[in-house]
Structure 1
């Protein structure tokens, strides 16, 4: 920074802040890096002679004054709880610095007008000033001391901290989430990011689509990108198979929990709220949203960045449809005053669709249906994904890729199932399996459900038709297949083995590995890693005689797990049955869906 001293004329506060950071502890390293990058961007901006523009000096003086203030008051004895806030502010300043650099480059190349350029600069300076105000407020020792003395988890109003933390981690880290493959959904991701970074615009964005179109993959990609840039305020991934992730009443407490971890000032405010209203988490969702999220954020609105976003994925996966709709209604009712943005993904259920469309007309929310994207674009995305995932194991011609993409239609889950079938297991058979999948092309229709049923049926027939499998191995596979698909939550290999009254986990694990094309088996071998169904289409097919490839595989047939396990001739390894179909944890005898 010292070498820039002569160039940053009138930026005494910026130089002082940089000097203070250089002398501070490692806790402020992210901020040091960000401020250094911002200083270089400011230097480049002022080389344009922008100082002569009306209004520039005023905004500059205000920002430099804030920098002087924070350099004077920065408290080095900040607690660990301040680190997320420091990192978030640093990421945002870094992103703003890069925006200034891009704007400078466009100005030099004459691809933007001088008026547009100065507006970008002034907007960036104002955003940095807001970030500094947030940091200064959160740096107040009284604030973080009070917040730490009144931890949100200890209040009697909300579920135990263990359960909330479980829901938070389950909804983001422990589920089988993967981001978009490189070069897929690029335009859609950029479109949503433009909405996030536009300080104005609607406060709510609804990304909806039919099952299998890739909504969760898109949401996870956005979470990852926004976390890297400092724009992610909180996230919650609903999942009907995990108890902590299917209860809609846990969504808002979890979001408040994450916000309190990110923003010490928020933690301080909400602690007071919880003391006054200790039962707020048991109140209707509209009141939860108001007291746990909206009011605390409004109280600190002047110090909040304009581009923070909360992501709630797969709201339709919650166990109570009416409650999920109520949460959407509450969000839309508060949309006009929300100081941060909300991105919600779900299937297009009728009640939610009508409500969102009305609010879209009013300009309160934006909406996009993934399944109605341009089909040519989706096809190119699917081809890029298949080439990336399969290219390492087999050579696919352009014609083969075209066929597989065409069969996938608008469903990324179709393409993902192909990849699992070809890649998992015996790589030496990848060519044979590609041929098997390609041979399903005859008779394909525009009906995506028909096409994916046909793919699942082809895979199941090939899997169970393997002549190397013994009859008792096939029986075990069917029992495991039905049990995992019926269960309302993931089941570990040990739990599945115990249900079979078997002390051996290896046969169970080996059988599950053969079913990895249609079931998700977490990595980690035979440990406590769960098995779960990958797709709702598959569950529905096994419950429908018209869609299931064989009565042997039909879940409500005489060959269902309950019947198989009650018959001694079908008991694997001659052991006594450990359960009936109705005793699977979280499963019902009728295998009724959530």
Structure 2
């Protein structure tokens, strides 16, 4: 989680806390269903397209669940899949990490793993049968009568490129093995978690419908601009309107749009704040169109401010004239 935050923006309270007041979250964090009016929710699926803030939402929920001080509060075991990293994009890597965090918090369950290791030795963690062996040990742990309630969290399940079907099957089967287990999973809509076995337990949450978190992120970015010269309240208000109209509740679009402003500020140290509005207006809505727009600007390599360009030409011309004159 810390590594992800280092590579992205820091986690903002406003980017996830609105979900804590929803019925969906209340149902997911409720363990006493007897007499409860809340629907059953043992598998919460946060789905959305690229850039809709799923990972930020997952990190916020993990922090919220982990911060509970009650002695009997459920523990949290989590894993962040990353498709570009071979060490983080397989079902085996995911399950291995989930088991490790489970054992850190409930060490008495290690007997289920030791019994498997006693017969198989180090080969238990090697080769093509590793996931099967770990699955058997994991399922045995879930059946343990002394298992304490657990939240298992997997972010970006769509980026699990090796044996994702096996991982989904394990998630599904675990719900039938123990009522002390709940899952929080995020992915793009292309992943299919709806099965006959998850019926009645699965609740879907569309990340792109959460307007509040994206607006909180936009406000955060605007507050940074406010500290710079040339960005008065009028300019900031116009930038806010344009960004909100084009963002389409997509965190990544907002991040890239403000990076475009940062790039212009670095290139043109004295650019007027009014140019910020023009820059945002030039950026089309939708990530794919935005990517095309960014590539076109890179290929053109043109500076925005005509006065800057004129200044460069004037300096270059003066330098050439001085070089040509006799000393």
CA distance, structure 2, for counterparts of residue 356 and residue 457 of structure 1: 38
- Normalising by structure 1, we get a TM-score of 0.42
Change (3 A) 1:189 1:420: farther
**1:345 aligns to 2:186 (yes or no):** yes
Question: For residues 224 and 249 of structure 1, what CA distance do their matches in structure 2 show?
Answer: 25
* Matched residues, number: 280
Which residue in the other structure is 1:226 paired with?
65
Match in the other structure for 1:18: none
Rounded to whole Å, the distance in 1 between the matches of 2:170 and 2:197 is: 12
Task: Select the residue among 353, 356, 371 that pairs with 2:194.
Answer: 356
- The aligned counterpart of 2:141 is 296
Is the Cα contact below 8 Å between 2:154 and 2:184 reproduced in 1?
yes
Of residues 211, 219, 240, the one that matches 1:384 is 219
Runs of at least 5 residues in structure 2 that lack an aligned partner in the other structure: 34-39, 305-327
Distance, in Å, in 2 between the alignment partners of 1:208 and 1:378 is 15
- Matched residue, 1:563: none
What SS does the corresponding residue of 1:418 show, helix, strand or coil?
helix
Distance in 1 between residues matched to 2:258 and 2:94, nearest whole Å: 33
Distance 2:11 2:275 in 1: 24
- Indicate the residue corresponding to 1:332 in structure 2: 172
1:359 Cα offset (Å):
4.8
Equivalences for 1:38-437 in 2 at 5 Å?
172-175=1-4, 176-178=7-9, 180-191=11-22, 193-199=25-31, 200=33, 201-229=40-68, 231-278=74-121, 279-281=123-125, 282-283=128-129, 285=131, 288-291=134-137, 293-299=138-144, 301-302=145-146, 304=148, 306=149, 308-320=150-162, 323-338=163-178, 339-349=180-190, 352-353=191-192, 355-356=193-194, 358-359=196-197, 362-371=199-208, 373=209, 377=212, 380-393=215-228, 394-395=231-232, 396-423=235-262, 426=266, 429=271, 431=273, 434-437=276-279
Residue 450 of structure 1, CA deviation: 4.6
Question: Deviation string for 1:424-456 (max 9, x for gaps)?
Answer: 673765837624522315xx46xx245423552
Cα deviation, 1:533-589, whole Å, max 9, x if unaligned, reads xxxxxxxxxxxxxxxxxxxxxxxxxxxxxxxxxxxxxxxxxxxxxxxxxxxxxxxxx
SS in 1 for 2:174: helix
TM-score, normalised to structure 2, is 0.72
| Aligned-partner Cα distance in 1 for 2:297–2:227 | 21
Contact 2:13-2:60 at 8 Å conserved across structures: no
Distance 1:271 1:251, change over 3 A: same
Q: Deviations over 1:219-275 (max 9, x none)?
A: 122222222226552211111222211222211011111212222212344223322
Query: How far, CA to CA, are the matches of 1:224 and 1:432 in structure 2?
Result: 39
Of 456, 460, 463, which aligns to 2:298? 460
Deviation at 1:217, TM superposition (A): 1.2
In structure 1, what is the Cα distance between the partners aligned to 2:272 and 2:90? 41
Deviation string for 1:135-189 (max 9, x for gaps)? xxxxxxxxxxxxxxxxxxxxxxxxxxxxxxxxxxxxx333325554232343324
Give the RMSD, CA atoms, in angstroms. Answer: 3.2
Do the aligned partners of 2:81 and 2:155 also contact (CA within 8 Å) in 1?
A: yes
Measure, in 1, the Cα distance between the counterparts of 2:256 and 2:217. Answer: 12
Q: How far apart are the structure 2 equivalents of 1:195 and 1:286?
A: 32
Is the 2:18–2:212 Cα contact (8 Å) retained in structure 1? no
Alpha-carbon separation, structure 1, partners of 2:296 and 2:240: 18
Compared with structure 1, are the counterparts of its residues 248 and 388 closer, same or farther at alpha carbon in structure 2 (3 Å cutoff)?
Answer: farther
Report if aligned partners of 1:240, 1:317 keep a CA contact under 8 Å in 2.
yes
Structure 2 CA distance for aligned equivalents of residues 225 and 289 of structure 1: 28
Gaps of 5+ in 1: 1-171, 468-594
Looking at structure 1, the residues matched to 141 and 272 of structure 2 have their Cα atoms a distance apart, in angstroms, of 55
Structure with greater helix percent? 1
Q: State the SS of the aligned residue for 1:213.
A: coil
Q: Tell me the secondary structure at the aligned position of residue 212 of structure 1.
A: coil
Distance, in Å, in 2 between the alignment partners of 1:459 and 1:263 is 54
